[in-house]
């Protein structure tokens, strides 16, 4: 049995850990809980969006744009 250590991966993990624990990383992590994720949760849970109906990158981008517009209208109306 041979065990190999990927030195590059370990270095990248340490760099990511260092960035997450820096002052700027802590500030960004604090913003994350109220910036983006609740919007996706709202779209998925409350509006039952589970998968795209269309196929292809361009069509998915258009469909996602329509979903985002609908979400913004709902926020303005509330």
pLDDT 10s digit of each residue in the chain, 78 long?
A: 898 989 999 999 999 999 999 999 998 888 776 666 778 888 888 888 889 999 999 999 999 999 999 989 988 987
What pLDDT sits at residue 8?
Answer: 94
- Total length of the chain: 78
pLDDT of residue 34: 67
Sequence-ordered list of residues with C-beta below 8 angstroms from that of 62, at least 6 positions apart, any chain? 54
Please say whether the dihedral angle defined by the alpha carbons of residues 69, 43, 37 and 56, taken in this order, is positive or negative: negative
The answer to whether the predicted template modeling score (pTM) of the entire model surpasses 0.85 is no
Max distance between CA atoms of the chain, in angstroms, equals: 62
Predicted pLDDT at 36? 66
């Amino acid at each position: 049995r041979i065990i190999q250590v990927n030195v590059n991966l370990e270095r990248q993990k340490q760099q990511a850990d260092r960035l997450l624990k820096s002052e700027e990383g802590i500030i960004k992590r604090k913003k994350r809980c109220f910036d983006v994720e609740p919007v996706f949760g709202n779209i998925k849970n409350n509006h039952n969006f589970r998968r795209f109906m269309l196929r292809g990158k361009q069509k998915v981008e258009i469909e996602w744009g329509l979903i985002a517009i609908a979400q913004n209208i709902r926020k303005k109306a509330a």
